[in-house]
């Protein structure tokens, strides 16, 4: 069995360069690859294209890369809670491609499955379809969307083994699974890394064939974007 384990985040992101395209899992701040993002910030690589549901918040997650102007283009579903993302987009400093959320997920999954393109009804008749091929099937119009091409996919999982088999926990099972195997190199950081064969095969969400590197992360903050609590009675 191939051992996918690497010793540290430094080894995990080996090979990243300026101008590359990255996929980054997570939804808001839920299930984001915190350690990988922090390491990318330290490396100070530039002109990145980042494919992610959103760009986190100003001082955490992808917001850290935006603060240092390391991202050239964001391919996302919404601006979310990040004021700096919004500012850079409106000022023209940042190239932004906004995509319907389901289409974003499917373009990841298509890349994972080796499907070059697919038709979807999402976005037909809107700016999303501008310049794209459209076609009618059974009286309904569809837009042709292409699978993403990325150099690295950075994924966060709850538990994994040294063979790369991984398990997600709760809503962290969002964009992470469809990004596994959707790039040339998939890097997975987990909260707990166990020896190969330790996981129940029936509980595994993504098999190790989709993973090239896996390591155990540290000091997860797991921030919450918006916290709503009941008033004291």
Q: What is the pLDDT of residue 232?
A: 85
Strands 134-137 and 140-146, bridge-based pairing: antiparallel
- The token pair at 53 is 């549901």
Q: Identify the pLDDT of residue 28.
A: 84
> For position 221, what pLDDT does the model report?
86
Q: Global pTM?
A: 0.93
Side-chain-side CA neighbours of 210 within 13 Å: the count stands at 26
**Low-confidence residues of the chain: pLDDT under 70:** 1
């Amino acid at each position: 069995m191939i051992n996918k384990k690497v010793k540290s985040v430094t080894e995990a992101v080996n090979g990243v360069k300026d101008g590359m395209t990255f996929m980054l899992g997570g939804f808001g701040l839920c299930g984001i690859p915190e350690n990988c993002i922090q390491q990318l910030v330290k490396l100070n690589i530039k002109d990145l294209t980042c494919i992610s549901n959103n760009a986190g918040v100003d001082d955490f997650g992808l917001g850290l890369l935006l603060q240092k102007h390391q991202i050239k283009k964001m391919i996302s579903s919404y601006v979310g809670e990040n004021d700096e993302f919004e500012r850079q987009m409106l000022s023209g400093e940042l190239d932004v491609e906004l995509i319907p959320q389901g289409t974003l997920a499917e373009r990841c999954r298509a890349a994972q499955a080796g499907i070059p393109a697919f038709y979807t009804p999402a976005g037909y008749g809107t700016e999303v379809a501008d310049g794209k091929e459209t076609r009618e099937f059974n009286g309904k119009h569809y837009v042709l969307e292409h699978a993403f091409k990325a150099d690295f996919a950075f994924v966060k999982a709850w538990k994994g083994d040294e063979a790369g088999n991984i398990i997600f926990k709760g809503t962290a099972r969002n964009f992470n699974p469809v990004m596994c195997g959707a790039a040339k190199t998939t890097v997975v950081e987990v909260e707990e890394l166990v020896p190969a064969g330790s996981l129940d095969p029936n509980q595994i969400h993504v098999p190790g064939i989709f993973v090239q590197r896996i390591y155990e992360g540290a000091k997860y903050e797991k921030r919450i974007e918006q916290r709503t609590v009941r008033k004291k009675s």
